[in-house]
């Protein structure tokens, strides 16, 4: 894989919008839910690959604040998938030194999912390798609103409102800005993902449907990121 990207210039934080599960299934005359099951396998593959290369932060968009609009059956399936998956991942995390954090509003999640998340966050809190953030019932705008409400509840004054204090009010306060944002599935939009953290992200849109997104493409995308010229508003000298 060494020829696909340079291991000495990795992005710090990669965010992934895993889109295209339903279309992947439809193409094969399967149920949309089969697409989610297959998509979970790719998420595990990419998580392992990210850990192996030494990435520090990886965020997966698992379920958006808008995804409740889907059928009860699909929503129920996704919540069960998260539940059965999280319970089994502790060994993977321990073995690979992976910490798990959740982004999003836990209050609307089913009790069993909330419990699993709290458990895996606690069990992995001292692990120091890759941090995997799972964005579940996550909306970029919702995160900002909840953060600002927290600051108000803490009695912060106008002079204490800054980029730093707002960032610190989020679900994972230490989560750095996104360097590379990948969206599979062909759509070219952010769908409310990490609105604050992606202010200067490099955007990469892939036509590959998520269940077909293997680690080779991930490595190629990191290589593509490394060719970009990031200026952050300045004029290069
Ligand atoms: C992404 O795949 C997974 C989730 C949003 C949970 P989709 O389910 O959106 O798949 P498409 O976009 O309909 O193909
Ligand atoms: C974004 O995909 C959400 C996740 C991948 C979890 P969607 O399929 O929900 O986004 P839209 O509806 O195409 O914008
Ligand atoms: Mg979609």
* Separation of CA 81 and ligand 3 centre (Å): 17
Residue 141 annotated as lining a ligand binding site: no
Confidence class for position 81, pLDDT limits 50, 70, 90? very high
Kindly identify the ligand whose nearest atom is closest to the C-alpha of 135.
2
Assess if residue 234 is contained within a domain: no
* Separation of CA 189 and ligand 2 centre (Å): 9
Which of 176, 144, 139, 167 minimizes the C-alpha distance to 57?
A: 176
Q: CB under 8 Å to 69, separation ≥6 — which residues? A: none
Does the active-site annotation cover 8?
Answer: no
Is there an atom of ligand 2 within 6 Å of 62 CB?
yes
Render pLDDT for 219-234 as a digit per residue (tens, 0 to 9). Answer: 999 999 999 999 999 9
Is there an atom of ligand 2 within 6 Å of 187 CB?
yes
Is there an atom of ligand 2 within 6 Å of 67 CB?
yes
* Separation of CA 19 and ligand 1 centre (Å): 5
The residue segments making up the domain with residue 104 are: 12-224
Assess if residue 214 is contained within a domain: yes
* Separation of CA 60 and ligand 1 centre (Å): 13
Cα–Cα distance list, 117 to 128, 139, 206 (Å): 18, 18, 29
Phi-psi region of 233 (alpha: psi -120 to 50; beta: other; left: phi over 0): left
Assess if residue 231 is contained within a domain: no
Which of 7, 8, 19, 91 is catalytic? The answer is 19
Render pLDDT for 184-227 as a digit per residue (tens, 0 to 9). Answer: 999 999 999 999 999 999 999 999 999 999 999 999 999 999 99
Mean pLDDT of 73-81: 98
Q: CB under 8 Å to 58, separation ≥6 — which residues? A: 13, 14, 15, 16, 46, 47, 50, 130, 131, 132, 133
Q: Whose CA is nearest to atom 2 of ligand 2?
A: 19
Q: Whose CA is nearest to atom 14 of ligand 2?
A: 191
Residue 183 annotated as lining a ligand binding site: yes
Is residue 2 scored above 70 in pLDDT? no
Question: What is the rounded CA–CA span in Å between residue 133 and residue 203?
Answer: 19
Render pLDDT for 106-124 as a digit per residue (tens, 0 to 9). Answer: 999 999 999 999 999 999 9
Question: What is the rounded CA–CA span in Å between residue 10 and residue 154?
Answer: 37
Q: Where are the beta strands (DSSP E) in the chain?
A: 13-17, 57-64, 99-103, 131-138, 180-183, 202-205
The pLDDT value recorded for residue 26 is: 98
Assess if residue 179 is contained within a domain: yes
Residue 22 annotated as lining a ligand binding site: yes
Where b means 16+ CB within 10 Å and e means fewer, 161-183 reads: eeeeebbebbbbeebebbbbbbb
Q: Whose CA is nearest to atom 9 of ligand 2?
A: 67
Is residue 92 scored above 70 in pLDDT? yes
Assess if residue 236 is contained within a domain: no
Assess if residue 230 is contained within a domain: no
Count of CB atoms situated within 10 Å of the CB of 129: 17
Question: What is the rounded CA–CA span in Å between residue 54 and residue 130?
Answer: 7
Residue with token string 């989020």: 170
Question: What is the rounded CA–CA span in Å between residue 49 and residue 55?
Answer: 9
Is residue 1 scored above 70 in pLDDT? no
| CATH assignment at residue 198 | 3.40.1180.10
Does the active-site annotation cover 67?
Answer: yes
Mean pLDDT of 48-77: 98
Assess if residue 232 is contained within a domain: no
Render pLDDT for 167-188 as a digit per residue (tens, 0 to 9). Answer: 999 999 999 999 999 999 999 9
Q: State how many domains the chain has.
A: 1
Assess if residue 7 is contained within a domain: no
63 CA closest ligand 2 atom index: 6
For ligand 1, residues with CB inside 6 Å are: 18-23, 63, 67, 78, 185
């Amino acid at each position: 894989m060494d020829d696909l990207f340079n291991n000495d210039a990795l992005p710090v934080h990669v965010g992934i919008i895993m889109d295209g599960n339903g279309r992947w299934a439809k193409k094969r005359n399967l149920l949309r839910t089969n697409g989610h099951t297959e998509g979970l396998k790719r998420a595990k593959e990419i998580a392992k690959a990210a850990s192996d290369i030494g990435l520090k932060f990886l965020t997966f968009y698992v379920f958006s604040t808008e995804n409740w609009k889907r059928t009860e059956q699909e929503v129920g399936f996704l919540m069960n998938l998260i539940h059965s998956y999280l319970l089994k991942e502790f060994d993977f995390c321990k073995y690979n030194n992976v910490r798990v954090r959740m982004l999003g509003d836990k209050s609307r999640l089913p009790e069993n999912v909330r419990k699993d998340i709290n458990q895996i966050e606690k069990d992995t809190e001292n692990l120091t390798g890759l941090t995997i953030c799972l964005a579940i019932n996550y909306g970029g705008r919702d995160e900002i609103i909840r953060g600002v409400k927290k600051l108000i509840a803490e009695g912060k004054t106008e002079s204490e409102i800054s980029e730093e204090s707002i960032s610190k009010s989020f679900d994972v306060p230490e989560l750095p800005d996104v360097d590379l944002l990948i969206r599979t599935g062909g759509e070219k939009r952010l769908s409310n993902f990490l609105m604050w953290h992606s202010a200067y992200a490099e955007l990469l849109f892939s036509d590959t449907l998520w269940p077909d997104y293997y680690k080779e493409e991930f490595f190629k995308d990191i290589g593509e990121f490394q060719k970009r010229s990031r200026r952050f508003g300045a004029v290069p000298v």
